[in-house]
Structure 1
Amino acid sequence: MRPALFRRSSTPVDPGPSTTEAPDPTGEVDGRPSKNPAAKGRPTPSRREAEAAARARAKPARSRKELAAKERADRKARQDKVREAMKTGDETFMPKRDRGPVRRFTRDFVDSRFSFTELTLPVMVLSLVLQYSGNADLVAMGTLVLTTMLLLVVLDVLYLRFRLRREVRRRFPDEPFKGLTFYAVSRSLQIKPWRLPKPRVKIGARLGEDYR
Structure 2
Amino acid sequence: MSLLEKLPFGKRSQADDDAAAATAAPAKTSSGKGRPTPKRKDAQARNLHPIVPADRKAAKREARAKQDEAWERQRIAMQTGDERYLPPRDKGPIKRYIRDYIDARYSLGELFMPLTLVLLIVFVAFSSRQTLLSFYFMLAIYLFLFVSIADAVICWRLLRRRLYAKFGREKVQEQGHIFWYIFSRCFNLRRWRQPAPQVARRQYPE
TM-score over 0.5 (shorter chain): yes
Q: Equivalent residue for 2:200?
A: 202
Question: 1:89 touches 1:198 (CA, 8 Å); kept in 2?
Answer: yes
Percent identical residues: 28
* Matched AA of 1:135: R
Q: Deviations over 1:47-92 (max 9, x none)?
A: xxxxxxxxxxxxx964444333332222111100000111111100
The equivalent position to 2:104 in structure 1, one of 109, 112, 115, is 112
SS in 2 for 1:92: helix
Higher RCO (CA-CA < 8 Å; seq separation 6+): 2
Q: Equivalent residue for 2:161?
A: 166
For 2:53 and 2:69, locate their aligned partners in 1 and report how far apart those are by CA, in whole Å.
18
Q: Equivalent residue for 2:40?
A: none
Q: 1:146 to 1:66 in 2, by over 3 A?
A: same
**TM-fit CA distance, 1:161:** 1.5
For 2:108 and 2:184, locate their aligned partners in 1 and report how far apart those are by CA, in whole Å.
13
Question: 1:88 touches 1:198 (CA, 8 Å); kept in 2?
Answer: yes
* Matched AA of 1:181: F
SS in 2 for 1:148: helix
Q: 1:172 to 1:61 in 2, by over 3 A?
A: same
Between 1:152-161 and 1:171-180, the stretch displaced more is: 171-180
SS in 1 for 2:73: helix
SS in 2 for 1:132: helix
Question: 2:109 touches 2:186 (CA, 8 Å); kept in 1?
Answer: yes
Question: 1:112 touches 1:201 (CA, 8 Å); kept in 2?
Answer: yes
Q: Equivalent residue for 2:21?
A: none
**TM-fit CA distance, 1:109:** 0.8
For 1:78 and 1:69, locate their aligned partners in 2 and report how far apart those are by CA, in whole Å.
14
Q: Equivalent residue for 1:149?
A: 144
Between 1:103-112 and 1:185-194, the stretch displaced more is: 185-194
* Matched AA of 1:142: F
Question: 2:53 touches 2:59 (CA, 8 Å); kept in 1?
Answer: yes
**TM-fit CA distance, 1:114:** 0.6
* Matched AA of 2:205: L
Q: Which runs of 5+ in 1 are unaligned?
A: 1-59
For 2:118 and 2:58, locate their aligned partners in 1 and report how far apart those are by CA, in whole Å.
50
**TM-fit CA distance, 1:167:** 0.6
Q: Equivalent residue for 2:17?
A: none
SS in 2 for 1:68: helix
Q: 1:138 to 1:65 in 2, by over 3 A?
A: farther
Q: Equivalent residue for 2:171?
A: 175
**Structure having the higher Rg:** 2
SS in 1 for 2:172: coil
The equivalent position to 1:140 in structure 2, one of 135, 142, 164, is 135
**TM-fit CA distance, 1:138:** 4.7
Q: How many residues align?
A: 149
Between 1:103-112 and 1:197-206, the stretch displaced more is: 197-206
For 2:137 and 2:54, locate their aligned partners in 1 and report how far apart those are by CA, in whole Å.
62
For 2:139 and 2:62, locate their aligned partners in 1 and report how far apart those are by CA, in whole Å.
55
Considering fraction of residues, name the structure with more helix: 2
